[in-house]
Amino acid sequence: MPDYVAFLRAINLGKNRKFPMAELRVCLGAEGFSDVDTYIASGNVRVHSTLRSTTKVAEHMERIFEKDRGFVVRTVVFTPTELRQVYADAAGLAAPLSGDVRRYVTLLRTPAPPKAAAEIEAIELEGEAARAVGRAVHLWIRDGYQNSRINNARIEKLLGVATTRDLKVITTLAQRWGA
């Protein structure tokens, strides 16, 4: 069975969208996924599945989560190879900002169309920069993601379903699950 790495959008951020990782593992295991593993409470999960595409896995998970939780949990799914590539892209990109910046990666359900990617990259804000590569938007942010104007909501308006992780999380997951 192939492995998949899923990134759940907007869970465990407030009191109304709770999904403890132990419950997530049980939920997915009960619905046919195997070897379910999670990493931190932001909704990073690796599974084995008989399903044969990232799209099918994402759609199936979303149906399961809505049934179990009573709210929609948008999900972005990568293969381990795709996750390794996102990490390699992040490591290989030249920093467009100098000085002390934090790195984030916004993961996309589908590849960024060239026109929308160019629009994201053309945003000129003091202390913020973005580069779109495949199914990821790589972010450099000087003053912290909470204050960023190149944020998940803005990226989703241009590129569809997306979820953002700190580059440290992407690095750890690529090492753990990108085998």
- The predicted pLDDT at position 18 comes to 86
**3-78 and 80-177: identical CATH topology:** yes
The one-digit pLDDT tens for each residue of the chain (179 residues) are 799 999 999 887 677 788 889 999 999 999 999 999 999 988 999 999 999 999 999 999 999 999 999 989 999 999 999 999 999 999 999 999 988 999 999 999 999 999 999 999 998 889 999 999 999 999 999 988 888 999 999 999 999 999 999 999 999 999 999 87
Tokens 């972010």, residue?
A: 139
Q: 80-177 has which fold? A: Alpha-Beta Plaits (3.30.70)
Q: Parallel, antiparallel, or unpaired for β 162-166 and 3-8?
A: unpaired
Q: 3-78 has which fold? A: Alpha-Beta Plaits (3.30.70)
Of 82, 153, 159, 78, the residue nearest 117 (C-alpha): 159
What pTM was estimated for this model as a whole?
0.94
Tell me the domain boundaries of the chain.
3-78, 80-177
Neighbours of 92 (CB within 10 A): 8
